[in-house]
Amino acid sequence: MKRAAAFLAALLLAPSTSFAVSSPFGIATPDGGGALGWAGPFRGFFVWIAAEQSSFYRSLTGALSELSQSSHAAWFLIGLSFAYGVFHAVGPGHGKAVIASYLLATGDTLKRGIAISFASGFVQGLTAIVVVGIGTILLKVTAVTMTRATDALEIASFAMIALCGVWLLWSKTVGRHEHGGGSTAGAGTHVHDASCAIHGHGRLGLDRSGIGQRDMTAAPARFSAATLGQPRLAYSGFSATSATTSVDLSCDCGHAHIPDPATLTMPLTFRSGLAAIFAVGIRPCSGAVIVLVFALAQQLWWAGILSVLAMSLGTGATVSALAILAVKAKDIAVRFTGNGRSVLANRVLRGFELAAAGGILLFGLAMLGGALASG
Partner 1 sequence: MLRRRLLLAVALLSAGMATASAHPHVFVDAREEIVFDATGKMTAIRHSWQFDEAFTAFAVQGLDANGDGKLSDDELQPLAKVNVDSLKEYRYFTNLKVGNKHVSVDFPSEYWLDFHGGRLTLFYTLPIRTPIAPGAHATLEVFDPEYFVAFSFVKNHEIALTGAPAGCKASVRPPHELDDATMAQLAAIPADQHDLPQELADAASSLATLITIGCS
User: Taking CB under 8 A as the criterion, which residues in 79-108 touch partner 1?
Assistant: 88, 90-92, 96-97, 100-101
205 contacts: CB under 8 Å, gap ≥ 6: 181, 211, 212, 213, 215, 216, 231
- What gap in Å lies between CA 149 and CA 168, rounded to an integer? 28
Candidate list 161, 326, 354, 357; residue touching partner 1; CB under 8 A: 326
Of 18-26, 153-161, 217-225, 256-264, which segment contacts partner 1 by CB under 8 A? 18-26
Please tell me whether residue 370 binds partner 1 under the rule CB under 8 A: yes
H or E, element range at 247 = strand 247-248
Please tell me whether residue 32 binds partner 1 under the rule CB under 8 A: yes
Binding to partner 1, residues 191-230 (CB under 8 A): none
315 contacts: CB under 8 Å, gap ≥ 6: 85, 86, 88, 89, 94, 121, 124, 125, 285
Please tell me whether residue 310 binds partner 1 under the rule CB under 8 A: no
Q: Residue 197 region, left (φ>0) first, then alpha (ψ -120 to 50), else beta?
A: alpha
- What gap in Å lies between CA 349 and CA 1, rounded to an integer? 12
Residues in the interface with partner 1 (CB under 8 A) total: 88
Please tell me whether residue 23 binds partner 1 under the rule CB under 8 A: yes
Which one-letter amino acid corresponds to residue 375? G
- What gap in Å lies between CA 286 and CA 360, rounded to an integer? 23
Please tell me whether residue 372 binds partner 1 under the rule CB under 8 A: no
Please tell me whether residue 49 binds partner 1 under the rule CB under 8 A: yes
In whole angstroms, the minimum distance from the beta carbon of 175 to partner 1 comes to 25
Please tell me whether residue 297 binds partner 1 under the rule CB under 8 A: yes
Of 163-171, 172-180, 186-194, 322-330, which segment contacts partner 1 by CB under 8 A? 322-330
- What gap in Å lies between CA 15 and CA 9, rounded to an integer? 11
Task: DSSP letter for 138, please.
Answer: I
Please tell me whether residue 156 binds partner 1 under the rule CB under 8 A: no
Of 52-60, 74-82, 187-195, 235-243, which segment contacts partner 1 by CB under 8 A? 52-60
Of 23-31, 181-189, 275-283, 305-313, which segment contacts partner 1 by CB under 8 A? 23-31
In contact, 172 and 105? CB cutoff 8 Å: yes
- What gap in Å lies between CA 105 and CA 99, rounded to an integer? 10
Of 170-178, 182-190, 195-203, 321-329, which segment contacts partner 1 by CB under 8 A? 321-329
Of 39-47, 123-131, 213-221, 257-265, which segment contacts partner 1 by CB under 8 A? 39-47
Binding to partner 1, residues 235-274 (CB under 8 A): none
Please tell me whether residue 33 binds partner 1 under the rule CB under 8 A: yes
Please tell me whether residue 59 binds partner 1 under the rule CB under 8 A: no
In contact, 357 and 169? CB cutoff 8 Å: yes
Please tell me whether residue 51 binds partner 1 under the rule CB under 8 A: yes
In whole angstroms, the minimum distance from the beta carbon of 142 to partner 1 comes to 4
73 contacts: CB under 8 Å, gap ≥ 6: 63, 66, 67
Binding to partner 1, residues 336-365 (CB under 8 A): 336-337, 348
- What gap in Å lies between CA 201 and CA 163, rounded to an integer? 35
Please tell me whether residue 47 binds partner 1 under the rule CB under 8 A: yes
- What gap in Å lies between CA 27 and CA 371, rounded to an integer? 15
Candidate list 22, 109, 184, 227; residue touching partner 1; CB under 8 A: 22
Please tell me whether residue 299 binds partner 1 under the rule CB under 8 A: no
User: Would you mind telling me the total number of residues written for the chain in this entry?
Assistant: 375
- What gap in Å lies between CA 340 and CA 228, rounded to an integer? 26
Candidate list 2, 24, 71, 252; residue touching partner 1; CB under 8 A: 24
Of 61-69, 118-126, 176-184, 232-240, which segment contacts partner 1 by CB under 8 A? 61-69
Please report, to the nearest 10 degrees, the dihedral formed by the alpha carbons of residues 367, 369, 370, 371 taken in order.
80
